[in-house]
Chains A and B, each alone.
Chain A
Amino acid sequence: MAKRIDLKDVDIYYGAFHAVQNVNLTVIPRSVTAFIGPSGCGKSTVLRTLNRMHEEIAGARVEGEILLDGENIYDRGTDAVAVRRTIGMVFQMPNPFPTMSVRDNVVAGLKLQGVRDKKKLDEVAEASLRGANLWKEVKDRLDKPGGGLSGGQQQRLCIARAIAVQPDVLLMDEPCSALDPISTLAIEDLIADLKKQYTIVIVTHNMQQAARVSDQTGFFNLEATGKPGHLVEIDDTEKIFSNPTEQATEDYISGRFG
């Protein structure tokens, strides 16, 4: 199920602004790839091009190739909706659908894709909530509004919602930045669990987190504000954190940055 993603000479623009320059990397299936780097270097931007979310912004465009198991997701014939069914996403701020109950939030994707079978929906809801490590906490309030959960629970609800549609790849943009240490640990455990099935790409500002959860780490940097960001290097997480090839990476992870 898990899929591989290759980025070839990817350049990303917001209108005239060249945000990210010449990225080449490979996301390995059934593993966790972490993106780290200073604020504004384009980590979120790169992540959002992977499921064609980038193009939702007026004037935004992408050059180069992004291959999902060898197929360019930016091909003319490829439907963005189909791409997003394969590549799910969890955002920095938890954002359950405010009009829906906990259960409906989880199965929103399936329901809106046309699945009607109530029994199946209930099963998927339970399985996804268990998968997101949230079942025990919400099983008695499945019909309450999703917005009534705590921040950490909401974020796990969003993860449950993302895995309920069974994507092959899961993108996470700083999924723990609004959470307490305990919720953070719960989500890190979850990531370790999920990678048995999914390909995961995670953006994080937390070095320890990258070191804990990821198999390979990519370091992004930018020369100066207004200049495009670029990928400095990507390698096994262990190597990046112990013995990186580039001096800039070494400086960043050891806190001697800027």
Chain B
Amino acid sequence: MTTATGTDLDRPASEPPTRQIALGRRIKDHVATVLVSLAFLIAVVPLVWVLVTVIARGLPAILSADWWGYSLSGVLPEEYEGGVYHAIYGTLIQAFIATVIAVPVGILAAIYLVEYGRGPLARAVSFMVDILAGVPSIVAALFVFAAFISILGAPQSAFMVSLALVLLMLPVVIRNTEEMLRLVPDRLRESAYALGIPKWKTILRIVLPTALSGTVTGVMLAIARIMGETAPVLVLVGYARAINYDPFEGNMASLPLLMYSELSNPEAAGQYRIWGAALTLIIIIMIFQVGASLISRFSAIPK
């Protein structure tokens, strides 16, 4: 025992030979620590940079009085008045419609794959989901354009955007739900069957509730992901400076689309609105992400 009050007797008679090795190891350890920290810094610098820039430049806009409650209706390009209310509404309603369609379909597909799917059909579905997951958003947008607007003659509208978002959201929801369902141990299913509970009820009342928090978290993250998608809004709907509540008709703004359209505004107010919209979009997406992690934290099932 070597303590502050230790005597000479407590010390080893000679330096232990392990000292040398320990020194070498300490050097390696330090080098590794420095390298890892450096890599971390390199990864973090651009992130922080982007965040700081967006906050610094976007803050004046989002703190202005009209920002959250007014559209740009009647606001001249060089004026600083107005807000992005119409674009926030567009972003949210387009994501909402996509969610309403994609979540039930995605969850049912995942249930099919995990609980019922055996044989070639399940493999085919699974393969399609993989393909869908790799489809770039511009391709999804062009597909909707070709199928619904060119062939079926539907007008451009926010709903078309939502359809493209569905295509982007589906594989994420399916894969995530699938994973959550597979995490539910088979012995839970078996003990439900052993009570004479039919399979569909077991899935509905035992398996889904057990997988619920993970599934909801996944859905929130999927929503956060699609809200920033730009290709669908560029291709499938026109920009409007005023509020349009009808997703099935007419032009509608959304935050990415507003940013894009303000890019062609040569006035300083254009820049001002772009940064404001960027910060607004980041804040909205953050809300969903924080919501997702709160849900998974608080509704996690105690082991």
Question: When each residue 260-303 of chain B gets 1 if its CB lies under 8 Å from chain A and 0 otherwise, what string results?
Answer: 00000000000000000000000000000000000000000111
A15 interface contact, C-beta 8 A: no
Which chain B residues lie closer than 8 Å to A165 at the CB level? 195-196
Question: When each residue 196-214 of chain B gets 1 if its CB lies under 8 Å from chain A and 0 otherwise, what string results?
Answer: 1110011001100110100
> Contacting chain A: which of B143-151, B182-190, B243-251?
B182-190
Question: When each residue 45-84 of chain A gets 1 if its CB lies under 8 Å from chain B and 0 otherwise, what string results?
Answer: 0000001010010100000000000000000000011101
Chain A interface size range: 20 to 34
A135 interface contact, C-beta 8 A: no
A41 interface contact, C-beta 8 A: no
B50 interface contact, C-beta 8 A: no
Size of chain B's interface in residues, with CB distance under 8 A? 24
B191, B193, B201, B210 interface centre (most CB from chain A within 10 Å) = B191
> Contacting chain B: which of A86-94, A234-242, A243-251?
A86-94
B194 interface contact, C-beta 8 A: yes
Which chain A residues lie closer than 8 Å to B212 at the CB level? 99
Instruction: Indicate which residue in A56, A93, A112, A162 contacts B197 across the interface (CB closer than 8 Å).
Output: A112
* Given known A56-B190, A89-B194, contact A112–B205 (CB-CB < 8 A): yes
Instruction: Indicate which residue in A98, A99, A112, A145 contacts B195 across the interface (CB closer than 8 Å).
Output: A112
Cα-based distance from A145 to B303 in the complex (angstroms): 10
B118 interface contact, C-beta 8 A: yes
Q: Shortest CB–CB separation between residue B209 and chain A, in angstroms?
A: 4
Cα-based distance from A99 to B192 in the complex (angstroms): 13
Q: Shortest CB–CB separation between residue B183 and chain A, in angstroms?
A: 11
Q: Shortest CB–CB separation between residue B150 and chain A, in angstroms?
A: 44
* Given known A98-B301, A112-B205, contact A53–B190 (CB-CB < 8 A): yes
Which B residue's beta carbon lies closest to that of A167?
B196
Cα-based distance from A106 to B162 in the complex (angstroms): 45
Asked if residues B301 and A51 are in contact (CB atoms below 8 Å), the reply is no
Which A residue's beta carbon lies closest to that of B213?
A99
Asked if residues B192 and A147 are in contact (CB atoms below 8 Å), the reply is no
A161 interface contact, C-beta 8 A: yes
Asked if residues B303 and A147 are in contact (CB atoms below 8 Å), the reply is yes
Which chain A residues lie closer than 8 Å to B194 at the CB level? 51, 53, 84, 88-89, 91, 162
Which B residue's beta carbon lies closest to that of A89?
B194
Asked if residues A108 and B195 are in contact (CB atoms below 8 Å), the reply is yes
Cα-based distance from A109 to B205 in the complex (angstroms): 11
Which chain A residues lie closer than 8 Å to B206 at the CB level? 97, 99, 108, 112
Cα-based distance from A227 to B94 in the complex (angstroms): 61
Which chain A residues lie closer than 8 Å to B189 at the CB level? 56
- Residues facing B in A198-253 (CB within 8 A) are none
A85 interface contact, C-beta 8 A: yes
Which chain B residues lie closer than 8 Å to A112 at the CB level? 192, 195, 197, 201-202, 205-206
Residues of A near any B CB (own CB < 8 A): 51, 53, 56, 58, 80-82, 84-86, 88-89, 91, 93, 95, 97-99, 108-109, 112-113, 145, 147-148, 158, 161-162, 165, 167
Known contacts A112-B197, A165-B196; 9 additional CB pairs below 8 A are A56-B193, A80-B193, A84-B193, A84-B195, A86-B196, A89-B191, A95-B188, A97-B206, A158-B191
